[in-house]
Amino acid sequence: MSTDSMLIVTSDNIPGQTIATTVGLVRGTTVRSRHIGRDIRATLRSLVGGEVVEYTKLVAECREQAIDRMAAEAKAKGADAVVGFRFATMEVARGAAEVVAYGTAVKLR
Amino acid sequence: MAYADGELYGEAKEAFEQRLQAEPKLAAELSELQALHIVARSEAPLEPADHEWRRLETDTIQRTGLGLGWILLIAAVLLLAGQVVFSIARDESLSSLSRVLMISAIFGIGLLAGMTLRERLRVLPFDPYTKVER
């Protein structure tokens, strides 16, 4: 996965590349919620079962924004890539999800 | 385009960011470009259910039913709120001060909600993540 020119991987190293230095921990965080209309539809959808697309979209938006913020921090610190990338999610309030994207920013040879 | 691709650096980047602050249309254009970029990298293959979802978006019965449902709900909520305000105003068992305070609280919440909605609508064109589906 790459946002702009930032290589982001879940492994601890990048095959074919050598890590020159470790820049440090980088992370991106966001908390988003659905508007009340989508919330009502999601509640009704949970009564009939199946995928709650409103919350699928919510988590997807959070995910992409958190990745972008993490990549921006890595870029600002002069890193070439992020290794050991992980997500953490939680519900902070009813209908609001927090996503944290984090990893280790590194410089490549 | 260079800024959207992360290829603008130093003084050129700073100058462009100053232009973004001064020119909302430019900021909206940048947001659209970023949204395309984000959607392109997160696009997942279509699933069988997606075809039915897309068909339902244009289905007349579905659109009419949803539209009518929302109109009825919003109208009922607004009329109920008006009725509550009217009932409080006419309730002789409450002191004048209590009535004024309760009505002020209702209008205060309404005003806060309105201003929050205004903020959201103003910022919405600059949010590149709203087009992400999954």
Residues of A in contact with B7 (CB under 8 A): 5
- Angle between helix axes B48-58 and B60-90 (nearest 10 degrees) is 60
pLDDT at A67 over 90: yes
Residues in chain B closer than 8 A to A67 (CB atoms): none
| CA–CA min distance A96, chain B (Å) | 15
Of A64, A93, A55, nearest to B37 (Cα)?
Answer: A64
Per-residue pLDDT at B14: 85
Q: What is the pLDDT of residue A2?
A: 52
CB A102 within 8 A of CB A63: no
The model carries a pTM of 0.82
Measured between CA atoms, the residue of chain B closest to residue A1 is B41
pLDDT (tens digit per residue) in A30-58: 999 988 888 899 999 989 999 998 889 99
Per-residue pLDDT tens over the stretch B48-73 = 788 888 898 899 999 999 999 999 99
The pLDDT tens digits of the residues spanning B68-84 come to 999 999 999 999 999 99
Residue count of chain A: 109
| A28 three-class SS | strand
A27/A100 Cα distance (integer angstroms): 7
Across the interface, which of B7, B38, B70 has its CB nearest the CB of A64? B38
| Ramachandran angles phi, psi of B51, nearest 5° | -65, -40
SS3 state of residue A21:
strand
How confident is the model over B84-99, as a mean pLDDT? 90
